[in-house]
Amino acid sequence: MIIPVLPAAAVGDDLMTGGLSLRKDRFISSFDVDFRETASEISATLKRRSPILTIDVNGFNGRTVNNQLITRTKTRRSEHWVLTGVTTLDDVFDGFHMGADTLLIPYRDLPLNVLKEINDISDRCIPIILTDDRRSSSISGFEDIMESMRNVQRCGFSDVAVLNTSDSNIWDDVLKENERTIPLVFGNAASIIEKGFSDVLEVPSQVHTAQSRNYTHLSG
């Protein structure tokens, strides 16, 4: 399954989305498209309760959780997956309390003991690893991507998401390490699915309404 990804932020009184890019370990979005309209139209093309991932851009960049944004970005027909700046166990409780169905939690910001505690209290959290080629970000600095994946597994997680910020092809090795890995990619998700992944999170190169970008064939 290819899971659509939408960045989100409050811009004045409006809830906005837009194109997304990554600079080092910070997301950057144009925020020039209405979020609710775009999310509702994409959701209408998916099977009921299929997930859409919302990226809380400011929360992720600032290592904070924007509880109000989690509530405001929930779409009625879809599973509400949220990537935000979780750094504590309390952040996890807050995220679920505000309406998230699944939380993606940044591996770079979480000590292993906290990761284990999070896994102990919830099976609806998925660590996400940011890696540049094979060098991933962790709370203690940089380490090999395979070490990061093994640390996640040692903490009890079966699923892990991986965002590779370089153009290198790490996906065969990542899949071999954990067949339940969920890549997060900027377009071309279909080619990643063909490698054997069950799920891929796709950030479109541009945010379109459902009329111009139809996800129906991705939800099967």
Q: What is the pLDDT of residue 205?
A: 60
Lowest mean pLDDT among 33-37, 67-71, 123-127, 203-207: 203-207
Residue-range domains of the chain with CATH: 2-218 (3.20.20.70)
pLDDT at 100 over 90: yes
Q: Give the model confidence (pLDDT) of 13-60 as tens digits.
A: 899 999 888 887 889 888 999 999 999 888 888 888 899 999 999 999
For the segment 126-145, the average pLDDT, to the nearest whole number, is 93
Of the candidates 159, 165, 160, 172, the one whose C-alpha atom is nearest the C-alpha of residue 203 is: 165
> Whole-prediction pTM value?
0.90
Q: Tell me the percentage of the chain whose pLDDT exceeds 70.
A: 92
Residue 186 neighbours by CB under 8 Å, 6+ apart: 20, 21, 22, 202, 203, 205
